[in-house]
């Protein structure tokens, strides 16, 4: 019984940590999204109703992304040509602008876009 309780407590702790690190990841992703030298996503996309300063109409307004599977979002950022051979969006993973961790952070942020 004691062992079970310890396990339950550990599980609760672990999920708490997972949440904390996920919100850090979202913050990091948001920063990448809005930083010119990193994702520069905001140059082409409007997200969460925020107005963009720039040309900004090249890409579609990002919405409903919380419904997308994480893998689909990852693939889109890694290499948009995979699903759209004539995409005007740069392949951030393929061209080495963003590394695996940075793309995962961006995906965590994209998952918050309703
Ligand atoms: C040079 C302009 C440009 C930049 C910079 C850009 N995108 Fe895009 N993006 C596009 C265009 C154009 C499309 C639509 C064509 C397509 O789906 O490939 C698109 C599509 C998308 C989609 C699919 C949206 C949908 O509803 O189908 C996602 C998600 C996305 N971009 C995320 C990002 C993220 C994240 C970044 C930054 C890492 C980024 N984009 C940077 C131009 C851009």
Instruction: Supply the residue whose CA is at minimum distance from atom 40 of ligand 1.
Output: 41
* Cα–ligand 1 centroid distance for 97 (angstroms): 15
45-99: pLDDT as tens digits: 877 655 555 555 678 889 899 999 999 999 999 999 999 999 999 999 999 999 9
What distances in angstroms separate CA 36 from CA 33, 40, 53, 64, 103, one per listed residue? 8, 4, 11, 24, 15
Instruction: Supply the residue whose CA is at minimum distance from atom 16 of ligand 1.
Output: 87
Ligand 1 pocket, Cβ-based, cut-off 6 angstroms:
33, 39-41, 43-45, 58-60, 62, 65, 73, 76-77, 80, 84, 87-90, 92, 106, 110
90-99: pLDDT as tens digits: 999 999 999 9
Task: Please give the span between the terminal C-alpha atoms of the chain, in angstroms, as a whole number.
Answer: 43
């Amino acid at each position: 019984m004691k062992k079970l309780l310890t396990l339950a407590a550990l599980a609760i702790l672990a999920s708490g940590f997972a949440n904390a690190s996920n919100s850090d990841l979202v913050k990091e992703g948001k920063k990448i999204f809005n930083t010119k030298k990193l994702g520069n996503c905001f140059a082409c996309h409007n997200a969460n109703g925020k107005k963009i300063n720039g040309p900004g109409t090249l890409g579609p307004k990002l919405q409903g992304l919380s419904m997308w599977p994480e893998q689909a979002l990852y693939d889109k950022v890694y290499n948009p040509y995979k699903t759209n051979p004539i995409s005007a969006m740069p392949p951030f993973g393929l061209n080495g602008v963003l590394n695996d961790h940075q793309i995962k952070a961006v995906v965590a942020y994209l998952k918050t876009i309703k």
